[in-house]
Amino acid sequence: MKIRSLAVGTMLIASSMTTTYAELNIANIAEDNSVSLTLNMDEKRFAVTGGCNTIMGGFEIDQFDEFMASRNLASTLMACSEPLEKMSARINGFLESQPKMVRQDNALYLVGTIAEEAASVYMPVVLDQGQYKDVKAEVYERIFIYVSNEKVPCPSNPEAKCLQIRADKNEAWQPFEGSIEGFSPEDGIAYRLRLKEYNKGAENQRWVYDMAVEQEIVQ
């Protein structure tokens, strides 16, 4: 696995799955790198995606760069598998630890602990609106797509499996060979997603998961 180290003061953060701090290996809070926290600095609101449900609330960042989530957090109310339920519990525990905000270049991360876990973990941060210090949010458009419950062979590599997507419910499914950052579909579930589309039409165009508007278990 290729890992790029990011230096933040005395802390080294890996943009992939592990980070090093005080000679200790620190893992991403999610093994599949699917969990991220989105910040709206203008409204002092945040949302965490990648667990069972999206967790939302207010926050403050103190002079020591400690992230303090409000006590009364809200969440979406979708039924999920046991692994995602456990991930949501870990996310809540992580937020309660008042993790520290760190940065390298334009990348932001939270680093903290979870009760009853010995090792620290980190969570990637996406800046949605406003700016944190001199890091500014990227411009994007919101789009909606449907994702099928079934994958199909990829056109360019039939041995690999690709998602099937469509913009309209009445359109035919199309294989999708790209990636949706922060989205980890579960087998047998169909979705309607709200995404953030960055750099539309450019070579570096990318889609980032915002939230699941609908999801349905397909038998």
Tell me the per-residue pLDDT of 130-177, one tens digit each, with 9 for 90 and over: 999 889 999 999 999 999 999 999 999 999 999 999 999 999 999 999
In the chain, helix, strand, coil percent, each to 5? 5, 50, 40
| pLDDT reported for residue 169 | 93
Integer Cα distance of 175 and 196 in angstroms: 20
Closest CA to 35 of 103, 74, 119, 93: 93
Query: In this structure, which amino acid lies at residue 13?
Result: I
Integer Cα distance of 32 and 22 in angstroms: 24
78 pLDDT higher than 90: no
Q: Region 75-88: what's the mean pLDDT?
A: 84
pLDDT tens, position by position, 103-117: 877 789 999 999 988
pLDDT interval class at 25 (50, 70, 90): low
In this structure, are residues 4 and 14 in contact, taking their beta carbons and an 8 Å threshold?
A: yes
Return the higher-pLDDT residue of 99 and 71. 99
Q: Which CATH class is domain 5-136?
A: mainly beta
Region of 87 on the Ramachandran plot (φ > 0 left; ψ -120 to 50 alpha; else beta) = alpha
Q: Region 190-216: what's the mean pLDDT?
A: 91
Integer Cα distance of 179 and 163 in angstroms: 9
Tell me if the pTM is above 0.85.
no
The SS3 assignment for 152 reads strand
| pLDDT reported for residue 96 | 94
Q: Which of 3-7, 22-26, 162-166, 170-174 has the lowest mean pLDDT?
A: 3-7
Tell the burial category of 18 from Cβ atoms under 10 Å away from its Cβ (0-12, 13-18, 19+). middle
pLDDT interval class at 181 (50, 70, 90): confident
Q: Which two tokens stand for residue 137?
A: 């949010």
Q: Which two tokens stand for residue 19?
A: 């980070």
Integer Cα distance of 30 and 40 in angstroms: 22
